[in-house]
Amino acid sequence: MSKPSHSRIFIRYKGNVCDFMWADVTKDGTVVIGLVETGKDSTRAIWDAKLGELRPGGFIEAQSIENPKTSFHASGFYKMTTRIGISPNTIDRCTIVGPPLEEIVEPRRMMEVLLPNKLRVSSKKPSERDIVLDATEFPTRPLRCTISCMSKLKFHEIVNLHQRFVSTSEVEFTHALESITQTWAFTLRVSREDKFIANIYHLFVPGEIKWGNNQYLI
């Protein structure tokens, strides 16, 4: 079930192998994840412990770079390439604060990805280093991928007990990537809660947002 520390992640869907994501584990234990699909990202919503839910207009977003990615640092600071701020003088890379990676034992959701209604058929053939998430037996329903971090022992326990990685899944398929101390599970699944399929990718990173300095100065 586990794979080397660098992988491309594909989805086998409707008889095709489709591009999805890539993941890399750096020497310092940082796990970097990005979509293969090119383009710019935009922020739809932010949850702040003091300010509540913020929608566009409640925060400032600088022009995004191409090919966004998220870096999960071992320290517990998870950095996205999106640059946002609560005021013009606080714009910085979006940073989400979570637990240090080595402290995560039980499965913790690190990222949720809602897949669009059309997936791009890949021009590349998966290698032995890569992950292929198989949706061949899935019903024709919206797809999402839950990326979870946990201890290596806990991952193998779940697999050996034939348990599901996500309680709301109707059906799921999981492969994993190992970092220095943890296992990162990529769970392609159909959720009981999903009714509509989006036309673009939607990503969610749970945790507490860390704004730049002087965040409440306007």
pLDDT tens-digit readout, 142-184: 999 999 999 999 999 999 999 999 999 999 999 999 988 899 9
SS3 139: coil
Instruction: Give residues with Cβ within 8 angstroms of 163, minimum separation 6.
Output: none
**Mean pLDDT within 38-64:** 84
Averaged pLDDT of the chain: 89
Predicted confidence band of residue 1 (pLDDT cuts 50, 70, 90): very low
Predicted confidence band of residue 48 (pLDDT cuts 50, 70, 90): confident
Q: Does residue 180 contact residue 101 with C-beta atoms inside 8 Å? A: no
Instruction: Give residues with Cβ within 8 angstroms of 180, minimum separation 6.
Output: 25, 29
Indicate the length of the chain as a whole number: 218
**Mean pLDDT within 24-28:** 88
Phi, psi of 158 (to 5 degrees): -65, -45
Which residue type, as a one-letter code, is found at position 122?
A: S
